[in-house]
Amino acid sequence: MVLASPVDVALLLTMCAGNANAGPVADALNLNAGYALAAAQVAATPQDGIRMAQEAQQSGRAGDVLRTWAATSQALAQQEQNVQQLAAAAS
């Protein structure tokens, strides 16, 4: 399991919260996301993907997705822990 530092988490949440001037971190993430969207054929070109990523970041939709992903990840981790505890108790 990889845990991010509180500073990393705060920076990522700020970047995804719709701050149009989030700086070089947002630029790097949007560039990476844009190329990923193009590689996955969600965007026609990397430039289209970058625009899509910037729109998601600036509108706050990226933050919504991040919070949903984090909550789902935490819920699944808790379920896994519960299963392991049940298995240990049964043995």
Q: Which residues of 13-25 are buried (b: 16+ CB within 10 A; e: fewer)?
A: eebbbbeeebeee
The domain of 26 spans 6-90
What is the percentage of the chain residues whose pLDDT exceeds 90?
57
31 in a structural domain: yes
Domain total in the chain: 1
1 in a structural domain: no
Four-point Cα dihedral 68, 45, 50, 58, nearest 10? -60
Model confidence over 17-53: pLDDT tens digits? 777 667 888 899 899 999 999 999 999 999 999 999 9
16 in a structural domain: yes
Q: What is the pTM of this model?
A: 0.71
